[in-house]
Amino acid sequence: MIKSNSNWAKLLHTEDWLAVWLGFIVIAIGAVSVLCGAFDFSALTFKTWTLGETLSEAQADKVVPLGQQLASGTFWIKLLRTFVVLGILFTAGAKLLGGEVKKYIPAFAGLFVLAIVVRLISAEFTLNRYLEWAFWALIVGLLVSNTVGVPQWLKPAVKTEFYIKTGLVIMGFSVLFSNIAKFGLYGLGIAWIVTPIVIIFMWWLGTKVFKMDNKPLVITLAAATSVCGTSAAIATGAASNCKKTDLTMAVSISIIFTVLMMVFEPMIISACGMSPLMGGALIGGTVDSTGAVVVAGTALGPEAQTAAVLVKSIQNILIGFIAFFVALFFATKVDKTGTQKVGAIEIWRRFPKFIIGFFVASLIASFVIMPAFGGEQVGAINKVLDQYKNWAFVLAFTSIGLDTNFKEITRQMQGGKVLWLYIAGQVFNIVLTFAAVWFLLSGAVFPIPVLD
């Protein structure tokens, strides 16, 4: 009975499950507000603004002077509504995760102010043409972290993965199951075939070519490179009994290159003239972090973002299976004296639960709301939900910047083999993923899926 209670408690006291419930609450309220029309649930969205830019007549129709926006009562009502809704939800989540409410509330307020600054900067007419709001969130966070430093009182609100997971669950409502069905086999081909090959290659390179004795570090770095960075590293590190210092090393290297790839990979893809569908799939298969995948995919447009998230979501499903097989491999081959017990429960324990929320939200939109109320209503709901999704992502990406200190990460780099293993593995990953993306999505071999 105690065990049962403990299992039920996990539904309210683990980050993955809380992200699912918070995402569903936002989806439910958003759907009711649109379908019933009883109240306005929309969040604040800064309209494009400029102070002195000369605009064409067509551009001027889409630009609202900043002073005019700030003078609107609706602006401040929506700003307050956004802060209250997100503040209540994430404070409740922080409390259930064991945090102190009295510390989290002022910290969240500070993070929300930074998010407002990000949205304001990114909505400026000139700046908006060069970088999306997600990049500005990262830049603002990095500036704070690597100059004055993150104040102690702000740190309780720096919960990157929590915000990302919640935003992705909300985003699931906008990804119609027809897209998953159309893209499923393509995504499996890109994610489930390439990923194991990259892990095996990096294991061989690290243990046989580089002669690295620290095998838990090798397999942990391989998983971080091929699957999804921090989450895969933590799961695989636990399965292989990786030391905390080695896990920190793997995560640090992954973070550095994730930041670089999320900025430069979309630029390179655009310069090469790759289609948004192929570019998004390549990003989904090669950028380590789920949040960074969303950032990079957003830079290439909605179709690329959808493709990137679908590939990464399909790839994330492998986390539990990889952790299971790593635990089995290390227990029976690498560390024969180990007493680890592996089984189906281990797969479930490692499985990222927020992915369930993502797909359930998609199923609800596709098979409940769409047939009952039509595509127009689903679109109206998504218009509301997208605003909250974007705010959750801004909080997440600002947190990524606040949590990234380049000096500390550089100090953790010990020896060159680990760095070269990651670089070689990531290059191999990019080449192999590109080959799979071209084979499946270029139209030369298979028909190109059309995402809604």
Report the pLDDT averaged over residues 294-312. 84
- The 3-state DSSP class for residue 124 equals strand
- pLDDT band for position 27 (cuts 50, 70, 90): very high
pLDDT, position 126 = 75
- Residue 230 is inside which H or E element, if any? helix 230-239
Contact 194, 433 (CB under 8 A): yes
Q: Is the pLDDT of residue 336 over 70?
A: no
Please indicate, yes or no, if residue 448 is contained in any of the structural domains. Answer: no
Please indicate, yes or no, if residue 310 is contained in any of the structural domains. Answer: yes
How far apart, in whole angstroms, are the C-alpha atoms of residue 53 and residue 55?
Answer: 6
Domain extent at residue 246? 2-441
Report the pLDDT averaged over residues 280-308. 84
Contact 22, 11 (CB under 8 A): no
| pLDDT per position as a tens digit, 346-394 | 666 666 677 788 888 988 998 899 999 988 999 899 999 989 998 998 9
pLDDT, position 412 = 55
pLDDT, position 254 = 80
Please indicate, yes or no, if residue 452 is contained in any of the structural domains. Answer: no
Residues 6+ apart with CB under 8 A from 412: 248, 249, 252
Q: What percent of the chain has pLDDT over 90?
A: 26
Report the pLDDT averaged over residues 162-171. 86
Mean pLDDT computed over every residue of the chain = 82
pLDDT, position 450 = 67
Number of domains in the chain: 1
Please indicate, yes or no, if residue 450 is contained in any of the structural domains. Answer: no
Contact 136, 394 (CB under 8 A): no
- pLDDT band for position 1 (cuts 50, 70, 90): very low
Residues 6+ apart with CB under 8 A from 365: 172, 173, 174, 175, 176, 177, 378, 381, 382
How far apart, in whole angstroms, are the C-alpha atoms of residue 66 and residue 276?
Answer: 32
pLDDT, position 384 = 92
Which segments of 317-374 does DSSP mark as H helices, in order?
318-329, 344-350, 354-364, 370-373
Please indicate, yes or no, if residue 47 is contained in any of the structural domains. Answer: yes
- pLDDT band for position 4 (cuts 50, 70, 90): very low
Q: Which residue has the higher pLDDT, 325 or 104?
A: 104
When mean pLDDT is compared across 108-117, 315-324, 368-377, the lowest value belongs to 315-324
| pLDDT per position as a tens digit, 234-259 | 667 767 777 766 776 777 788 778 87
Report the pLDDT averaged over residues 168-172. 85
| pLDDT per position as a tens digit, 400-444 | 788 877 776 666 555 578 889 999 999 999 999 999 989 988 878
- pLDDT band for position 164 (cuts 50, 70, 90): confident
Structure tokens at 34: 């649109």
Please indicate, yes or no, if residue 411 is contained in any of the structural domains. Answer: yes
- pLDDT band for position 2 (cuts 50, 70, 90): very low
Contact 174, 385 (CB under 8 A): yes
Structure tokens at 264: 């430069």
Residue 54: CB atoms within 10 Å: 7
Q: Which residue has the higher pLDDT, 130 or 143?
A: 143
When mean pLDDT is compared across 6-20, 39-53, 123-137, 405-419, the lowest value belongs to 405-419
Please indicate, yes or no, if residue 167 is contained in any of the structural domains. Answer: yes
pLDDT, position 324 = 74
In terms of Cα–Cα distance, which of 128, 149, 103 is closest to 45? 128
Please indicate, yes or no, if residue 320 is contained in any of the structural domains. Answer: yes
**Four-CA torsion 49, 51, 52, 53, nearest 10 degrees:** -20
Q: Is the pLDDT of residue 338 over 50?
A: no
Report the pLDDT averaged over residues 270-276. 89
When mean pLDDT is compared across 178-187, 219-228, 251-260, 373-382, the lowest value belongs to 178-187
Q: Taking the CA atoms of the chain, what radius of gyration do you get in angstroms?
A: 22
Phi and psi at 356, nearest 5°, equal -60, -45
Structure tokens at 10: 């996990």
Q: Is the pLDDT of residue 58 over 80?
A: no
| pLDDT per position as a tens digit, 61-109 | 678 778 888 888 889 999 999 999 999 999 999 999 988 999 999 999 9
Q: Is the pLDDT of residue 115 over 60?
A: yes
pLDDT, position 346 = 60
Residue type, 337: T
How far apart, in whole angstroms, are the C-alpha atoms of residue 154 and residue 195?
Answer: 37
